[in-house]
Amino acid sequence: MRLSVSKLIVLIVVLLFFGMSFCFWLINGSDFKPKRINNIPNSASWIGGIDEGFWFDIIEIDVKEETYRFKIYNDYEGVLVMDSKFIKDSTCNNEYPLNKSILKKISHFEFDKIQMIGNCKLLMIKPAYGGVFWELDKEIQK
């Protein structure tokens, strides 16, 4: 079967469009940030990708205890999913500071821990102060 010149041109244009769209998504996908819902504080930072993420708000940093208190909100509804203190696990080193720049080191949130870029994790200190994930965890423990 032989394609006509006009069909070949249309096919090339369609392939170029999808190819360029895919490249744009690869380059800019990590910069995706959902609209900030009214109940998410202005101090919260978006951490995530095009498929999922959370808003992280650092409430307190206790240098003496080496803990961070985060309020973590889901992406599209702005629901508080976790309000808890977190502490570095044994794999963390001084590369993970006890200040607000720690936000730049966060990879993602996993229910009861915050995975950092690299091997470090911030582990939730129970009991949490609140959030729907904490309420779910309490129900599971019953």
Give the domain range for residue 107: 32-141
Answer with the residue of higher pLDDT: 14 or 116: 116
pLDDT-wise least confident of 7-11, 65-69, 114-118: 7-11
Residues 48 and 58 in one domain: yes
CB 23 within 8 A of CB 15: no
Residues 118 and 56 in one domain: yes
Q: Is residue 94 very low, low, confident or very high in pLDDT (cuts 50, 70, 90)?
A: confident
Residues 20 and 72 in one domain: no
Burial class (CB in 10 A: 0-12, 13-18, 19+), 22: exposed
The pLDDT value recorded for residue 20 is 53
Count of the separate structural domains present in the chain: 2
Residues 114 and 50 in one domain: yes
The pLDDT tens digits of the residues spanning 104-133 come to: 999 999 989 999 998 899 999 999 999 998
The pLDDT value recorded for residue 96 is 83
Answer with the residue of higher pLDDT: 1 or 78: 78
Beta-carbon count within 10 A of 121 CB: 21
Nearest to 38 by CA among 77, 91, 84, 94: 77
Residues 63 and 122 in one domain: yes
Mean pLDDT for 17-41 is 64
